[in-house]
Amino acid sequence: MSEAAQDAVAAAAGRQTPRGTPLRFSKMHGAGNDFVMIDLRDGTAPPSPQLAARLADRHTGVGCDQIITIEPPRAPMSVASYRIWNSDGSSSQQCGNGARCVAAWLVRNGDTGDREFAIDSPLATHSVRTLGEDRFSVEMGVPVFEPAQIPLIGFARPRDEYLLPLQGETVRFGAVSMGNPHAVIEVGLVDAAPVERLGASLQQHASFPESVNVGFAQVLEPDHARLRVYERGVGETLACGSGACAAAVSLMRRGRLGPDARISLPGGELRIQWAGEGQPVLMSGPSAFVFEGEWNA
C-alpha cells in the first residue's frame, strides 16, 4: 500500500466506533497463523494502527498475528473484500492463511452459495474453492521475480539466488513477490536456522526498501519441504501462507521441488501447486474458528 493510501486509511480510522461500543470479532487461525476477524460491512471504520496493535497484544488484547477486516466487494463477481493489519499496527497487502479464514468466515455466515467463489484482497481478486472439512484452496496470483517489482534494490535482472553481505557473512537467498516481498533462504536444518537474527537483519537491509518476509526452507523430498517464516510487522509465526507460496516457487524455479509440494510449517501443512512462469500459484490448507467475542473499545 502506498504512503498516500496508508494516510487515507489512517484518516478514515479516526472515525472509530464510539468508546464503550462493543466491537464484535471472530478469532480464527489457519495452520496456527491466527487472526482477529472484524466485519466492517455495516460501514464501521477500519481499526486505527493503535487499535490494531491493542487488539493483537497477547497479554492485554485478544491476541493474534494479524487483524483482518471483512468489507464490501470491489469486483462485480466477488463476495467480499478484506484488508490486513499486522500486530504492530502496520498494514499488509497479502496473507494466504488469512484468505482461507476469510473464505471460511463467509461460508459460515451464509454469504456464498457455491463451492467456488471470489474474494478481493488489497491487491487482486482471488478464486476460492471449498474442499470440505474446513479446507479451502485459494488462487494466490502470479509470482513476480523482477527485482524492481519485489522490490529488491541493487539487482537489474531476476536471479535464482541473490548474494548479500550481512553481519560478516554472505547470505544466499531467492526473492519473489506474492503481492508482498519475500526472501527465501535454503538451509540444511530448519530447526537450527537463525530465524530471528537473520530475519530481522534482512528486514532492515537497504536492499529491501519496503522490508521483507524472510523464509527459511529445508528440502526433505522433491515434493516436501519444511519452512519457518519471520514476517515483517509480526516476527516469527506458526505459519505464513504467502511465505509458503514464495518458498515453494523459489525452490521449484531452481529445481529443488516439483510443481506440487507439501510445505510443513510449525503450525501445520499447506499444499502449493505451480505450473511455472506466468502461471498463478494455488495454495490449499485448513482454517479453524477458535471463539467469538466482543472488544470493549
Domains assigned to the chain: 3-141+287-296 (3.10.310.10), 147-279 (3.10.310.10)
Residues 244/217, Cβ–Cβ less than 8 Å: no
Cα atoms in the Cβ-side hemisphere of radius 13 Å centred on 28: 25
Please check whether residue 233 is in contact with residue 246, taking contact to mean a CB–CB distance below 8 angstroms.
no
On whether 232 is known to bind a ligand per the annotation, the reply is yes
More confidently predicted of 15 and 59: 59
Alpha-carbon gap, residue 7 to 177, rounded angstroms: 23
Establish whether 66 is an annotated binding residue.
yes
Give the pLDDT confidence score for residue 113 in this predicted structure: 84
| Catalytic pick among 64, 95, 101, 245 | 95
Q: Is 112 a residue whose pLDDT tops 50?
A: yes
231 annotated to a ligand binding site: yes
pLDDT of residue 20: 60
Task: Give the helix ranges, DSSP H, for the chain.
Answer: 3-12, 49-56, 96-108, 195-203, 241-253
> What pLDDT is recorded for position 12?
41
- State yes or no: 149 annotated in a binding site: no
262 near 250, Cβ under 8 Å? no
In the prediction, which pLDDT does 8 show? 42
Radius of gyration of the CA atoms of the chain, in A: 18
- Select from 75, 23, 74, 72 the least CA-distant residue to 48: 23
Residue 30 CB partners (closer than 8 Å, separation 6+): 96, 97, 98, 100, 101, 239, 241, 268, 285, 286, 287, 288
Which of these is catalytic: 64, 101, 240, 245? 240
Using pLDDT thresholds of 50, 70 and 90, give the confidence band for residue 167: confident
- Per-residue pLDDT for 13 more than 80? no
172 is in an annotated binding site: no
Confidence of residue 19 (pLDDT cuts 50, 70, 90): low
Euclidean distance between CA atoms 276 and 122, whole angstroms: 24
Residue 118 or 8, more confident: 118
Q: Is 33 annotated among the ligand-binding residues?
A: yes
Burial class of residue 249 (count of CB atoms within 10 Å of its CB; 0-12, 13-18, 19+): buried
pTM of the model: 0.90
Answer whether 181's CB lies under 8 Å from 151's CB: yes
Does residue 64 carry a catalytic annotation?
Answer: no
Beta carbons within 10 angstroms of residue 134's beta carbon: 16
**CA angle (85, 101, 252) in 5-degree steps:** 90
109 among annotated binding-site residues: no
- Residue 241, marked binder: yes
* 3-class DSSP assignment, residue 104: helix
Task: Give the model's pLDDT for residue 15.
Answer: 45
Residues 6+ apart with CB under 8 A from 71: 40, 41, 46, 80, 81, 82, 83
Query: Which pLDDT does position 280 carry in this prediction?
Result: 97
Q: What are 200-209's pLDDT values in tens digits?
A: 999 999 999 9
Tell me: is residue 197 an annotated ligand-binding position: no
Which segments within the chain are labelled E, that is strand? 22-30, 33-39, 66-71, 80-86, 91-92, 116-120, 125-132, 135-139, 162-166, 169-177, 181-186, 213-221, 224-231, 235-237, 260-265, 268-274, 281-286, 288-296
Over residues 43-55, the mean pLDDT reads 93
Q: What DSSP letter does each residue of 182-222 carry, written as one string?
A: EEEEE-S-GGG--HHHHHHHHHTSTT-TT--EEEEEEEEET
Out of 65-69, 92-96, 181-185, 244-248, pick the least confident.
92-96
Q: How far apart are CA 172 and CA 160, in angstroms?
A: 10
Q: How far apart are CA 250 and CA 242, in angstroms?
A: 12
Respond yes or no: is residue 95 known to be catalytic: yes
- For residue 148, the 8-state DSSP code is G
